[in-house]
Amino acid sequence: MEEDIPQGEGEVAGPKFVRAAGGVVWRRSADGAIEILLVHRPRYDDWSLPKGKVDASDGTEEDTALREVAEETGLRCRLGVELSSTSYVDRRGRPKTVRYWAMKPIGGAFEANDEVDTVRWVGPAAAQACLSYPREAHVLDSFITSVVPLVQAG
C-alpha cells in the first residue's frame, strides 16, 4: 500500500530514507506527435518511467536522473523542467521520494540490460494506460499539463 511521505521529511535520517530521480523522456514522432519512453523491468514485470537511486558518486539529483536514464535506456538526454515528484513507502518499508524531470534525447540507443529488457515509445494517453503505478501516472500528468502545451505552442 502506498503512503504519502511529505517531501523533505527524513532526508537527513540516513540510509533508511531513499532518494531517487528519473525522467519523462520524450520525442516527436515522424508525424510530429509527442511520444513518451517507457521501460519494462523484468525483475518486477512492470512498465515504468526510467529512474533510480541517488548514489555517493552523484553530485545532485539532476545528475542522478541523467545517469539513471542513460543506464536504463542507453539515451543521453538534455534535462528540462522539473515535474511532480512521488513519495511512498518502498517494498522494504522505507520512505522513498523520487524527483522527475522532462528529458529530451540528444544521443545514444537502447540496448537490453540487467535492469531493462525492452522500451516502448508511446503517446501520452497510451503511456498513462500502460504505466504499472498510479503514482507515475501523476508524474506523467504533470508533464502533459506543463510541457506539452509549450511544445505545441512553439
Indicate which CATH number applies to the domain containing 40: 3.90.79.10
At residue 17, the 3 state secondary structure works out as coil
pLDDT reading at 141 higher than 60: yes
Higher pLDDT, 27 or 153: 27
pTM (2 d.p.): 0.86
Closest CA to 46 of 131, 112, 122: 131
Binned at pLDDT 50, 70 and 90, residue 10 comes out as very low
Look at residue 3 and tell me if it is in a domain: no
Mean pLDDT of 58-87: 96
Mean pLDDT of 108-128: 96
Identify the domain containing residue 120 by its residue range: 18-153
Look at residue 77 and tell me if it is in a domain: yes
C-beta pairs of 12-17 under 8 Å, 24+ apart in sequence: 16/94, 16/95, 17/94, 17/95, 17/96, 17/97
Mean pLDDT of 73-90: 96
Q: What is the pLDDT of residue 133?
A: 94
Which amino acid is located at 79 in the chain? L
Q: Please state the domain count of the chain.
A: 1
